[in-house]
Each structure stands twice: as structure tokens, then as C-alpha cells.
Amino acid sequence: MTVFQRARHSLNQLLGRNYPLQTDTRQVTNHRNDTLVVRSTGRWRGVIAVSLCAMALGVLAARPSLLLVAAVGIVFASYPQLTRPPDPTLVVSRELTSDSSTDQELMAVETTVHNDGESRLLDVRIVDGVPDLLTVVDGSPRCATSLAAGESVTLRYRLSLRPGRHRFRPTTVLCRDASGAVEIEAKCTEPTEIETAARLPAVPLAAHHRYQSGMLSTDDRGEGIEFHSVEEYTQGDPVSRIDWRRFGRTKELRSVAYRPERNAEVIICLDTRAVSYRASNRSEPHAVALGVEAAARIADRLFESTHRVGLAGFGRDSCLLSPGAGADHQTEFHRVLSTHSAFELDPPAATEPTKPRDTSNNTTIDRQLTLICDAIGTHTQLFLLTPLCDERSIHIAQRVANTGAALTVISPDTTTTATDGGCIARLERDARLTALRSVGIPTVDWNPSEPLGAALASMGGRQG
């Protein structure tokens, strides 16, 4: 601790308030289970610094005027002791209204924040949790105001819709006391979803099979609706399978075999490494947000077809939800996708560049992939959602494919041609797509401005 820091700490103790040398952050929980973060803003540290300097110079130079300035500064610095920290008790409600008055499909949003406490909140700053994939075209999801006890404020704005299921993030409310020395950040959750044209027409599946009837066509012969082959009639074949037309022409008995349909076991895996949080520009969603949207829509379509669907993620954190079917499992799938830390939509905080020989991060990713690969069966369908932003994404895809699973890579294109660097990144991504296709891994090059269903349909294959 420097001499100046020790002097400032002593003055703080003299004033009866121990200002931290660094920002103080602590987690508390109110009775509504909303997480609060309490921290010092450091707003009065400049006054303390001026007072210390004036006091030191006044003593050394024997200047009473400087001591007077220091005394005035001490009076100002003690002002926060006369104010009480805010005690916010907030309730958030949200109302959505479809707005089709223009050619563009819009959604009007009204988010109301109500002060349910008994004290007035003098300085309130609100930021609504707009879904990452939607753009505000009118109004503002932000405001600054004061709220008396029992008073409410409403934020009104309109969103430009795009196909998919979009979840609102928690509304962030910052409350400061009258002096501005203490700030409380509250996260208020009001679960709200917007779903528009989210259902995919079909999802391509490979021809792996399980011994359970369902919607996935296989290469085996048996009961089904799709023609497989014509074979010689054997005693005991059902009469309904006899080819009577051939019998009428040739007087030969032949049986028609069909391609049976099985339930597929599908795992949707997301690449959420730090490199995947890349967007074409600041106004567009990054690749992880696009991947979360695509995962939700693909899963819903597969659940409709009674397939067993699981969820996995690697990079920021590891996640593995075993495949399952039914309404309860579908609800659990969406809960994990929207709340698990592996699929956090806010980009990770910037850190120091990794040293060339530092393989600690790669080791962590390898461990996460090992857990996922161990859970993949040889008859599992796996959709890997990755933007293919680096060379390692190719090795990850090949490693997953080596498990024997039927792998399909769905890659949202977040590159741009607006800059020279963007053009190079697009060329590199195209080369990675070609490399995967050259080793027989099906890939879907998804332009986020186009419907996901159209991109999947262009790949062909069996539909689920």
C-alpha cells in the first residue's frame, strides 16, 4: 500500500466510512430471489484526494487557507454518511403486441418496472433485456428516472421480428443513493418469449437406425410405408404385401418389402468457445446466439416427430443433456438451453492473449469433448453448430465424426465482405467447409439472413 493510499484510508476511517481501495462487489438475494450486486461507485474519491493534498500542503507550507480547503473537502466527503443506500424491491411485467401496420413484421413491447418497496428510489436506470437476435427499430429499451414508493415506469419500443423463438433476458436496473456513492444492480426476470415462424419444415437425418419404430427411415427391410424391394413370396408373408399386379401378369407370387422407420437419437451440440462469439457487425447477432436459436428450432421439429433429442455444449463451459422424448423432456431441453452457463449469450470478458505454447485452454476443451464423445453412440445423430471461425473447429468436427455418429455440421455465416479482413475470414471459412465435405461430413452453410429451413432442405437427405 502506497503512502497516499494509507493516508486516504486513514481519512476514510476518520470520516467513519471505509471506502474500499478497489470496487467492492458482493452477491445478496432479496425475498424475490432476484440477484443484487452492491458496489461502491467511487464518486467521492476525487474529493478525498483533493482534501488529502490540500491538508498535506497546508501542514507543510503552514498555509491556513489550504487547511480550510481541506476542511471543506472533508465536509463534502462526509455527505454520503447522511444518505441511506437504496433498498430496491422491484416487479417487472411485460406486454407484447403484434404490429403489422407496416411491410416489416414488428412487435410492440411495453415493459413496466414497479417500485414495490416502501422507500423512494432517487436515481433509477433501467435497461430491458432485449433478445439478442432482434433489433429495436422504434423507441428505446432504456430509461433513467426516479420512482416513488408504489410508482411505476413503462418502457415502450418496437422490435423487428425474424423467424425463430426469442427469449427476453433479465431486465437490468441500477439504483443509486442520493449521493451516488453506492450503486445496486438488480436483475429482474420476467420470462417472455416471442415465437414467429419457428417451425422448420424438415430436419435432414442420416440412415442410422435403432430397434424402435419411429420416423427415421433405415436401410433395413420390414414394415413401413416407403418401398424397399420386391422379393420371392415365402409361406407366411402377409397377404397385404403380395404384388397382385405382377401376379395378374405373370402368375408369379412376389412380396413387396418396405423400408421400416425408427426413432432417431439426436444430440444437438453447440460450439461456444470464445472465438465463436463473432458477428458480421455490431448490429447483428453473434454466432453463438444464432446457434442457440437454431438449436431450439431444430429440437422442436425433432420432438414433433417423436425423436429422442439431447443437448451438448463445449467451450465456455461443458453441458450434456442425455437424449429423451416427451413434453417434460422438451421443457427441460429449453430450460437448459436458456439457463446453462455453457450457452451464455453475453460474450466472455476480454482476457490477455494466450501464449503460443500455452495449451491450458486446449486441454480444457479436450476434456469437455471427451465427456461428450463418450456419451455418443454409434447410432446417434449429431448436429454440430459452429461458425468454423478457426482451424481447430475442423479437428473438433473430425473428432466427433470418429465416434461413429452420423455428424452434420451446421455453420452460421458471420463473415463479412465490408473489410479486407472480413474477406479473408470468409475465404478461410469457405476452405474449412470444403475440407469437411471432402472427408464426407455433411455441412449446412447457413446465411442468417435466409430461413434456416431452406438451408437444411438444400442439404437433402432423409427428413425428420
Rounded to 5, what percent of the chain is helix, strand, coil? 30, 30, 35
**CA dist., res. 294 & res. 298, Å (int):** 6
Q: Give the pLDDT of residue 229.
A: 59
Among residues 97, 196, 135, 131, which one has the least CA distance to residue 451? 196
| Mean pLDDT on 32-49 | 65
Beta carbons of 463 and 302 less than 8 angstroms apart: no
Among residues 294, 302, 300, which one has the least CA distance to residue 263? 302
| Mean pLDDT on 451-455 | 82
Q: How confident is the model at residue 103 (pLDDT cuts 50, 70, 90)?
A: low
Of the given ranges (102-106, 212-216, 245-249, 368-372), which has the lowest mean pLDDT?
A: 212-216
Q: Exposed, middle or buried, 328 (CB in 10 Å: 0-12/13-18/19+)?
A: exposed
| Mean pLDDT on 410-420 | 91
Look at residue 256 and give its three-state secondary structure: strand
Q: Which residue has the higher pLDDT, 192 or 330?
A: 330
Is the C-alpha dihedral spanning 139, 143, 145, 150 positive or negative? positive
The set of cell numbers assigned to 369 is 469433448
Q: Which residue has the higher pLDDT, 136 or 230?
A: 136
| Mean pLDDT on 320-336 | 92
The set of cell numbers assigned to 202 is 424438415
Q: How confident is the model at residue 79 (pLDDT cuts 50, 70, 90)?
A: low
Upper half-sphere CA count for residue 363 (Cβ side, 13 Å): 4
Among residues 273, 288, 267, 268, which one has the least CA distance to residue 364? 273
In order, the DSSP letters of 327-346 are HHHHHHHHHHHHH-GGG--S
Q: What is the pLDDT of residues 4-21, one digit of tens each?
A: 344 334 434 433 333 333
Beta carbons of 203 and 304 less than 8 angstroms apart: no
**CA dist., res. 166 & res. 196, Å (int):** 9
How many other CB atoms are found less than 10 A from the CB of residue 74? Answer: 18
| Mean pLDDT on 321-326 | 92
Q: Give the pLDDT of residue 276.
A: 93
| Mean pLDDT on 201-206 | 70
**CA dist., res. 267 & res. 385, Å (int):** 11
Q: Give the pLDDT of residue 404.
A: 85
Q: Give the pLDDT of residue 57.
A: 77
Among residues 399, 377, 389, 375, which one has the least CA distance to residue 430? 389
Q: How confident is the model at residue 221 (pLDDT cuts 50, 70, 90)?
A: very low
Of the given ranges (193-207, 212-226, 303-317, 432-446), which has the lowest mean pLDDT?
A: 212-226
**CA dist., res. 120 & res. 97, Å (int):** 31
Q: How confident is the model at residue 457 (pLDDT cuts 50, 70, 90)?
A: confident
β-sheet with 135-139: strand ranges across: 90-99, 106-115, 152-160, 135-139
Question: Which residue type occupies 105?
Answer: E
Q: Any idea which residue has 407484447 for its cell?
A: 96
The DSSP call for residue 403 is T
The DSSP call for residue 378 is T
Of the given ranges (78-82, 279-283, 419-423), which has the lowest mean pLDDT?
A: 78-82
Q: What is the pLDDT of residues 354-410, one digit of tens each?
A: 444 445 667 888 899 999 998 887 778 899 999 999 999 999 999 998 888 889 999
| Mean pLDDT on 266-277 | 94
- For a pLDDT cut of 90, what percent of the chain falls above it? 28
The set of cell numbers assigned to 131 is 433478445
β-sheet with 265-271: strand ranges across: 319-324, 308-314, 265-271, 380-385, 406-412, 443-446
Q: Give the pLDDT of residue 165.
A: 73
Q: Give the pLDDT of residue 63.
A: 74
Q: Give the pLDDT of residue 281.
A: 84
Q: Is the pLDDT of residue 24 over 50?
A: no
Q: Give the pLDDT of residue 418.
A: 87
- For a pLDDT cut of 70, what percent of the chain falls above it? 69
Q: Give the pLDDT of residue 352.
A: 42
Q: How confident is the model at residue 116 (pLDDT cuts 50, 70, 90)?
A: confident
The domains found in the chain, sorted by start residue, are: 90-196 (2.60.40.740), 221-259 (no CATH), 265-347+359-463 (3.40.50)
Q: Give the pLDDT of residue 31.
A: 33
Q: Give the pLDDT of residue 134.
A: 86
Q: Give the pLDDT of residue 184.
A: 84
Q: pTM higher than 0.95 for the full model?
A: no
| Mean pLDDT on 339-354 | 74
Q: Is the pLDDT of residue 3 over 70?
A: no
Q: Give the pLDDT of residue 347.
A: 86
Q: Is the pLDDT of residue 286 over 50?
A: yes
| Rounded (5°) CA angle 199-167-189 | 150
